[in-house]
Each structure stands twice: as structure tokens, then as C-alpha cells.
Amino acid sequence: MNNQQLFENIQKKGSFLCVGLDTDIQKIPSFLLDTTDPVFAFNKEIIDATAAYTVAYKPNLAFYETEGLVGWRSLEKTVHYLRENYPDIFLIADAKRGDIGNTSTMYARAFFEKMQFDAITVAPYMGEDSVKPFLAYEGKYVILLALTSNKGASDFQFGVDNLSGEKLFEKVLRISQQWGDAENMMYVIGATKAEELTGIRKIVPSHFLLVPGVGAQGGSLQEVARFGLNNQCGLLVNSSRAIIYASNGPDFAEKAGESAKETRDEMFELLKNKGLLK
Amino acid sequence: MNNQQLFENIQKKGSFLCVGLDTDIQKIPSFLLDTTDPVFAFNKEIIDATAAYTVAYKPNLAFYETEGLVGWRSLEKTVHYLRENYPDIFLIADAKRGDIGNTSTMYARAFFEKMQFDAITVAPYMGEDSVKPFLAYEGKYVILLALTSNKGASDFQFGVDNLSGEKLFEKVLRISQQWGDAENMMYVIGATKAEELTGIRKIVPSHFLLVPGVGAQGGSLQEVARFGLNNQCGLLVNSSRAIIYASNGPDFAEKAGESAKETRDEMFELLKNKGLLK
């Protein structure tokens, strides 16, 4: 996929929603536990109920790895199901990987070849050669952690560099642009710091930003759109728990669909007001 | 395991070697490809040939994930084999994980409960709450990335903070000591920067350091020992390719054993000269 295709999907659906598939076997409706693969069964129903309102899905790898082999199988089935039935979906591996070059090459193969993800989240700490192997894939994206939505973000990401005067996350945004461009990189920017988006848009005006932290983590969609939208939308706003756990009963998929539709409707208005719909 | 037990194993074997199980199916001897699980078959022989000279093993997760389900199964079998047959071994998941709290909790379960690792490598970028869930396990360790051995380490890790005057990796060392102590944290310190070890030992005198980059990446064992050893040894030096790919023929395990023994013999002398052997 490229930015223009992603933008067209956003226009078609009137949505820049990404649904986070943080599927926790301890939180899914208990009647699913009798099926052969409860996590996949849950994901399949959630996907079918939300796909009309969503341009991206983001399985969180930790939730699958925690179940070992069984979890890995649920993940592969979920990816396969999305690829077969919803080819337009932008599919993000929320994996926060990053290692020395030969190792990142292996991770790139795992997520871009073995499984057909479009993008993977990567941590910047180890620098250029830990990121580059992911950038070698045409039509695939690295989504680099810049400013995260958690409390611990303040431990290092706001430290000011004594040479450049930048905060660490600003330095990550600037330096990483020497490694790739808006067609193979995006950035994670936590929604809990929406006021930072003005400054961030000065450094990365045309990149897509993946924004977690709306909903359960307290970020505001209005604020994120106000400071973050660009002329190709440029935002993927993720919501996980508020959508996939909207109900714990037999209506879980229906309620997830309603919750996704509600978010889509709000996004539709924001896109329309910004003149971004056809 | 705790530091004292690890030190006693080091004394018993006269070695602080960690063997990196970066097992690449494209690099293992071709005659193994006919077995049902070539990666496990390779690991098993490598382990049996090197365990006498080694106190730790470190499977690199990328090399298993890149084979999908099959790779994950090879990893689980390797961990199980080590736990059953070599209970004294310190077992490190080289996974470079780290995410918001509820997600790191899932990774901790994956590596400390589902699989019986003793330690996991974690990236510091997301700060305290991304690390803490791993620290909640008695007798288990976070090995936090501080100074890595790759070229990209210079992109961010050496940036100087304008408040504290510290380099970023020094800040990581200092601040992370508020989260845990030497009994549940270690640090990754790349061997290619051995001269940095003097300063690092001032910040973390009693922590174990996991040192990659000796061998294939060019670091010197003598230098690392000179600047890094403390009164409980305090070092685990990793070697991967130089040991596990010492030969590509039918003698691959024997040659791996010889290579591990050679490194052990060098370590034995270093420990003896420092008065650390019983």
C-alpha cells in the first residue's frame, strides 16, 4: 500500500480508525472458550462487525505471544482472514521490535513475508541499522515510536539534547527522516499529548501518524484531529479496549460495531469539516 | 536464580560465556534439513557440545519468529530441553521487548510463565511502566538495553542531556536503578565500546552486564574483562556466530564445543588472575 491508497480508503470509509486487536483470552466472552480457537473466533467476529468503519487493524503481538504456540496460530489465522476477506485493510503488527541489522532483517521477514503485514511498530533506541532492514520492502512501513502515550514516556522522550536543543522524541523524528520518507515511515504519537502535535507537524508535515491512547487511555479525538490532520488525513487513530470490549455478552460483536461506527461518525465529521472527503 | 547462584555457576565452570542461539535455518548444516525440526536438532547438538563451558544461553527471538509457527515450536522445544537437562543454565530471551504496562505484562507472562526464561532483554525508550511488569517476578531479570554494539548506537545513545550532562545511555543506567536493583536488572553493554566500561562501572558497580559484540562484531574479551569484571564477576559475555557456526560440516557440534572451550579457557585465566575462582 502507499499513502495515496491509504488516503483513498480513508475517504471511502470516512474513517481514519485503526482497531487494536489486543485480544486477551481472559477478557473475551466466556461462551467463546468452547470453540477450538477462541481468540481467532473473537477476532473474526470483531473484524466482520467493524470492518466497514475501519481502515486499519493492529494486532498487539504480546497478546498472542503470551499464549505461546496457540497464540501464534491465532495471530496467523487472523492475518490470513483479514488478507483474504478485507484486502484494502492496512494491517499493522504492533510489535515494538528493533535490534542489530541482521536481527531486524529476520523480524522484517517474519512480519512482511511470513505474515502479510503492511507495517510494523519499531523502537528507535538502537538507531539507523536497526530500522533500515524494515524499510527495504516496497509498499511496507516502519511505524517508529516517537512520543508514546504512557506515563513512562516522560522518563527519556522529553530529555533535551544539549547540542540541538531538541527533545529526544523530536530528535527521533528529525534524524529518522534521513533513513526513509513518508512513503515507508510513519510515527507513533500518543494522543495523551495532543498539544505536542503542532510542533510535531512542523517536523513531519506529510507523514502518517499512528495515534494510540484515544479512549481507554484518555486522549481526545477532537484535539488530535485539530492539531494532527494534514491534506492526506495523515492520521490513523487507534482504539482497542473501548471497541473490542464494548460488551462482554453474546452481543459483543454488535456492540463493537456500534462503538466503531460511533467513532467513524465523529471522524467523518472531522474529515468533512477539513474538506478531506470527496 | 539470583546473582550469587549465577556467580557460583561461573566459578564452577570457570566461564562467564553466554552462547547466542541465533539459529538461522539457512546457515545450519544441510544434512539437518531432513530432520523433523532442523532448528531444534541443531540447537540440541550445540547445547550438548557447549554446555560444559557455558553459563547462559540466549535464543534470539527474531530467528524463531521468522519461521512463524514452526519457529515458535523450535524455540519452545529448545527452552524445554535446556530446562530439563541443564537446570543451572541462565536462560535469556533476547527479545528487545517493551510496551505500555498492560502489554509488557503480557510479554512477561509469555517469557517468564509460558516459557521458563530467567531473563529478557528490554528496550528502555518507553520508560518505567514499560519495564516494571517484568520486574515483578522473583528471581527473574530484565536486561535493559543501555549501550548497544551496533553502528546505530551513535544515533541517540550518545546524545548528551542538557540538564544532567549525561549521555542517554548513562541516563538510562541511572534512572532505571529507581525501578529495580542488581537482583532483578542487568544491562546490555556492547563490547565494541569497551573503554566506556570504566564510566559505566561507576554508575552500576554491582549489576551484571550482558556484553554482546565479542567475536563476529569485533569486541575484545580481554578489554571487556579488564574494565568490566567486578567482585561477583558481573559479566556475561555473549558469542553467537563465532561458536554456533564454527563449522558447517558433520563436525559442527564438535567445532562449536571447541570454540566454546577456547573462550572458556580464556575466561578461566581472566577469572583466576582477578582472584574470582574458588
Q: How far is B23 from chain A (nearest CA, A)?
A: 11
**B31 pLDDT more than 70:** yes
List CB contacts (< 8 A) between B244 and chain A: none
Give the active site residue among A12, A27, A77, A96.
Answer: A96
Cα dist from B205 to A131, A171, B139, whole Å: 32, 31, 20
Q: How far is B113 from chain A (nearest CA, A)?
A: 9
**B274 pLDDT more than 90:** yes
Q: How far is B8 from chain A (nearest CA, A)?
A: 31
Nearest chain A residue to B112 by CA: give it.
Answer: A66
Q: How confident is the model at residue A10 (pLDDT cuts 50, 70, 90)?
A: very high
Cα dist from A80 to A36, A48, A73, A91, A260, whole Å: 17, 14, 11, 11, 22
- d(Cα B203, Cα B181) in Å, to the nearest integer? 12
Q: How far is B240 from chain A (nearest CA, A)?
A: 12
Please judge whether A96 and B123 are an interchain contact, meaning their C-beta atoms are less than 8 angstroms apart.
yes
Would you call A76 exposed, middle or buried from its count of C-beta atoms within 10 A (0-12, 13-18, 19+)? Answer: middle
- d(Cα A222, Cα A215) in Å, to the nearest integer? 12
Q: Cα–Cα–Cα angle for B92, B93, B99, nearest 5°?
A: 130
Of A65, A109, A127, the CB nearest to B156: A127
Please judge whether B98 and A123 are an interchain contact, meaning their C-beta atoms are less than 8 angstroms apart.
yes
Q: How many helices (H) and strands (E) does chain A have?
A: 12, 8
Of B107, B130, B153, the CB nearest to A150: B130
Nearest chain B residue to A108 by CA: give it.
Answer: B66
Please name every residue paired with A60 in a beta bridge, in sequence order, or none if there are none: A94
Please judge whether A153 and B106 are an interchain contact, meaning their C-beta atoms are less than 8 angstroms apart.
no
Q: Cα–Cα–Cα angle for B132, B79, B270, nearest 5°?
A: 80
Whole-number pLDDT of residue B119: 98
Please judge whether B68 and A72 are an interchain contact, meaning their C-beta atoms are less than 8 angstroms apart.
yes
DSSP 3-state of B84: helix
- d(Cα B223, Cα A28) in Å, to the nearest integer? 53
Give the rounded distance of the alpha carbon of B128 from its chain centre.
Answer: 21
- d(Cα B141, Cα B236) in Å, to the nearest integer? 13
Give the active site residue among B44, B96, B132, B274.
Answer: B96
Please judge whether A127 and B163 are an interchain contact, meaning their C-beta atoms are less than 8 angstroms apart.
no
The answer to whether residues A237 and A17 touch, using CB atoms and an 8 Å cutoff, is yes
The answer to whether residues A145 and A96 touch, using CB atoms and an 8 Å cutoff, is yes
- Where are chain B's structural domains? 3-271
pLDDT in tens, B106-128: 999 999 999 999 999 999 999 99
Cα dist from B159 to A74, A129, A173, B146, B212, whole Å: 41, 17, 15, 13, 22
Average pLDDT over every residue of A123-145: 98
pLDDT in tens, A85-107: 999 999 999 999 999 999 999 99
**B183 pLDDT more than 70:** yes
pLDDT in tens, A193-225: 777 899 999 999 999 999 997 765 666 899 999
pLDDT in tens, A144-167: 999 998 999 999 999 999 999 999
pLDDT, mean over chain B: 95
Of A98, A102, A128, the CB nearest to B96: A98
What is the H or E stretch that residue B209 is in?
strand B209-211
Q: Which amino acid is at A35?
A: T
Task: Please state which CATH number belongs to domain B3-271.
Answer: 3.20.20.70
pLDDT in tens, A11-68: 999 999 999 999 999 999 999 999 999 999 999 999 999 999 999 999 999 999 999 9
Whole-number pLDDT of residue B218: 61
Give the rounded distance of the alpha carbon of B122 from its chain centre.
Answer: 11
pTM: 0.97
Question: Is the complex ipTM higher than 0.85?
Answer: yes
Cα dist from B116 to B46, B77, B83, B91, whole Å: 20, 11, 7, 8
Q: Which amino acid is at B20?
A: G
List CB contacts (< 8 A) between A63 and chain B: 103, 106
Q: How confident is the model at residue A192 (pLDDT cuts 50, 70, 90)?
A: confident
Please judge whether A125 and B124 are an interchain contact, meaning their C-beta atoms are less than 8 angstroms apart.
yes
Q: Which amino acid is at A196?
A: E
What is the sign of the dihedral through the CA atoms of B29, B33, B39 and B41? negative
Please judge whether B162 and A157 are an interchain contact, meaning their C-beta atoms are less than 8 angstroms apart.
no
pLDDT, mean over chain A: 95
Nearest chain B residue to A21 by CA: give it.
Answer: B103
Average pLDDT over every residue of B57-65: 97
Cα dist from A191 to A76, A149, A222, A231, whole Å: 29, 6, 10, 20
Please judge whether A104 and B149 are an interchain contact, meaning their C-beta atoms are less than 8 angstroms apart.
no
Q: Cα–Cα–Cα angle for B11, B16, B19, nearest 5°?
A: 135
Does B96 qualify as catalytic in the annotation?
A: yes
Of B99, B127, B153, the CB nearest to A155: B127
Please judge whether A160 and B163 are an interchain contact, meaning their C-beta atoms are less than 8 angstroms apart.
yes
Whole-number pLDDT of residue B48: 98
**B215 pLDDT more than 70:** no
b or e along A126-136 (b: 16 or more beta carbons within 10 Å of the residue's beta carbon)? bbbbbbbbbbe
The answer to whether residues B157 and B148 touch, using CB atoms and an 8 Å cutoff, is yes
Domain A3-273 has CATH 3.20.20.70: yes
Please judge whether B62 and A106 are an interchain contact, meaning their C-beta atoms are less than 8 angstroms apart.
yes
Of B65, B102, B162, the CB nearest to A161: B162
DSSP 3-state of B274: coil
List CB contacts (< 8 A) between B159 and chain A: 159, 161, 163, 168, 171
- Contacting residues for A126 by C-beta, under 8 A, at least 6 apart: A98, A99, A100, B96, B123, B145, B148, B150, B152, B153
Q: How far is B26 from chain A (nearest CA, A)?
A: 12
Q: How far is B78 from chain A (nearest CA, A)?
A: 14
List CB contacts (< 8 A) between A172 and chain B: 156
Give the rounded distance of the alpha carbon of A247 from its chain centre.
Answer: 22
